[in-house]
Chain A
Amino acid sequence: MIELRVNGRTHRLDVDPSTPLLYVLRDDLQLNAAKFGCGLGQCGACTVLVDGKAVFSCLTPIAALAGRTIETVEGLGTIARPGIVQQAFNIEQAAQCGYCIAGMIARAEALLRTTTSPSEDEMRAAMRPSLCRCGTHMRILRAVRRAAATMGGGVRDAAEPVR
């Protein structure tokens, strides 16, 4: 039995300890925001927060997660009361197909918990491990800038202002 703390709730699971977190989230806990993209840690669709840091859940065996805090996009807000980053993604209409967006939001959340006023370069470097095949990168970056501003900071030397 392994205990996992996800979005503030503790779950006891009887799963092989080498199982990637992503499979447990989707198959056992029905938390379906994080997506299976490549399964190789190359696309970022599976990104969730572990101890506040963005990690690829497809390459994180649950054996590594005892006593650690896991957060998925479901834990960042609700449809009625979205979190600041979620709301920014909504306002900027950053999703096209949406497959990468849960990972993008988790990654932006991790960045903005470290600093609400990253530089444009720091923001881009932090977002780089997540890929978007539709090409809404500019909207995604706008959403991150908006979220940073809403949190009371703002991206320094931003490539464009928050409107």
Chain B
Amino acid sequence: MRVPCGGGGTLVALHPLSDMAETGPHRSRTIALAVVIALLIVVAAFLVAAYRPPIPRIKVPARASFDPQLVDRGAALARIGNCQSCHSAPNGSSYSGGVPIRTVFGTIYGSNITPDPRHGIGNWSLAAFTRAMRKGVARDGSHLYPAFPYDHFTRLSDGDIAALYAFVMTLAPAATDPPANHLVPPLGVRPLIAAWKWIEFKPASITRDPAHDDMWNEGRYLVDALAHCGSCHTPRSRLQAEDRARRFDGAIVDGWYAPPLNGRSPAVRAWTIDRLEIYLRTGLDPHHAAAAGPMRDVATNLARAPVPAVHAIATYIADGMVTAPAARIEPPLIDRGALAARQFPEGATLFAGACATCHEPGAGMIVAGRPQLPLGTPLHEDNPRDVIQIILNGLQPPVGPRGPYMPAFADTLTDAEIAQLVGYLHARYGNGARWDGLEKAIADARKVKR
């Protein structure tokens, strides 16, 4: 990428008329021609380097050609990998794509990965599927956007890729295309992804860490290779690759904040293996809170994943959080009700009328065992995003119809009122520095399309 930029600089220097006068039109034309040729060579070299050959089409394999046990294993892996979140739109057929993934570079739509030969991946061989998973290259040789987390899937074992292949190739084919991507120019040009890969992507595999037991190692494999937890929980570089130096430090996704999954976790109760497993499998841990936002889908899928796999994930993630403050000592829950009411009187009034029936100590929901507000990690995070999202959009049960539910308040309260309410909640229950700029944060959160 550096080379064409330098070339552009030379061209600019040639443009001013004064240069033309000094050197004469003939000489400058020769230089311009030389520069154009050099540029063409650079572009050609780039295209050659970015080129990946197509892998020949195959006839759509018969469903019966796949071992049903392998298909089942692939289905389980797909749940752990949360594939549906991007590849199944709410009202579309399963895995037919169309879910918008909003990035700073524009919107990319999850692709159709059903075995339809025209619209899906029906004529992809296992080799083509493996190359896509490991190297981010489609069957026809085009580079795939890293919104598809091949930076994680590159670590998958051959056996797991084969199982996932068997699963997707036995889905019901869907003859539909997702909407076209909307990307900031020139990022619609796919060969440019090759340049991104040279800078940010390395094919990799996972080797067993002998310092830990099998369960931990299985968990690390599932977390890093398949479940791709880092895609949301690790902050990204300017080029939108995961910043490995800040692994699991917490990051912003779709207007939500995916909290830290390491020693920086602001949770006020320890994330033990058991609690994490309950949270991941039911979408609600009574010591913390409900899975919400993008995490809701994760819980929905993990609820139907094999229990030992979820246990392994919980084992590995919990180990990463043993240095978090709450893992060492769980602080008493604070309630600065009177102080908060003095600081945010309107917030206190709104809380009494809109929130107290469910959230005050003694409310039916609390008596029934739902977590009290101060247990919720969002109130202790270093930014108000999650609290704002939950108030605006409410909560839907992550697993089954009987899970945690909260109505949305987007149409009930104005930005100024929600700012008062969030200020009150944080003053009453929250740890950490006071949140500023609430009204703007609320207005921004309303703009996130869903």
Contact = CB atoms under 8 A, between A and B. Distances in A.
Contacts of A54: 411
Interface residues of B, number: 21
B407 A63 contact: no
Interface in A1-57: 17-20, 39-42, 50-51, 53-56
A34 to B, nearest CB: 14
A129 interface: yes
Given A17-B349, A20-B353, A59-B357, A64 B412 contact: yes
B91 to A, nearest CB: 5
Question: Which of the four size classes fits the interface of chain A?
Answer: 20 to 34
Nearest to B416: A64
A61 interface: yes
Ranked 3 nearest A-B pairs via Cβ: A61-B353, A41-B407, A53-B411
Secondary structure call for the A interface: mixed
Interface of A: 17-20, 39-42, 50-51, 53-56, 59-64, 121, 129
Contact of A63 (B346, B357, B365): B346
B407 A61 contact: no
Contacts of B406: 41
Contacts of B355: 59
A18 B357 contact: no
A40 B357 contact: yes
B405 interface: yes
A121 B91 CA distance: 8
B436 interface: no
Interface in B396-412: 405-407, 409, 411-412
Given A39-B357, A56-B412, A64-B417, A18 B407 contact: no
A8 B405 CA distance: 34
B35 interface: no
Contact of A18 (B353, B405, B417): B353
7 contacts: A17-B349, A18-B352, A53-B411, A56-B412, A60-B354, A61-B353, A63-B350
B405 A63 contact: no
Which of B346, B365, B405, B407 is most buried by chain A, counting CB atoms within 10 A of its CB?
B407
Contact of B354 (A59, A121, A129): A59
Contacts of A60: 353-354, 412
A114 to B, nearest CB: 11
A53 B407 CA distance: 14
B411 A63 contact: no
Nearest to A57: B412
A55 B411 CA distance: 7
Contacts of B417: 64
A64 B354 CA distance: 10
B181 interface: no
Interface of B: 91, 346, 349-350, 352-355, 357-358, 364-365, 405-407, 409, 411-414, 417
Secondary structure call for the B interface: helix
Nearest to A56: B407
Nearest to A122: B91
Contact of B353 (A19, A51, A53): A19
Contacts of A55: 411-412
Contacts of A40: 357-358, 364-365
Given A50-B412, A59-B357, A64 B407 contact: no
A60 B346 CA distance: 13
A61 B411 contact: no
A42 B404 CA distance: 11
A42 B405 contact: yes
Contacts of A18: 349-350, 352-353
Contacts of B409: 59
Contacts of A53: 411
Given A50-B411, A55-B412, A64 B357 contact: no
Given A39-B357, A40-B358, A60-B412, A129 B407 contact: yes
Contacts of B357: 39-40, 59
A60 B351 CA distance: 10
B353 A63 contact: yes
A59 B349 contact: no
A64 B91 contact: no
Contacts of B354: 20, 59-61, 64
A63 to B, nearest CB: 5
Nearest to B406: A41
Contact of A61 (B352, B358, B364, B365): B352
Nearest to A62: B353
A121 B349 CA distance: 37
A18 B409 CA distance: 16
B356 to A, nearest CB: 8
Contacts of B91: 121
Contacts of B365: 40
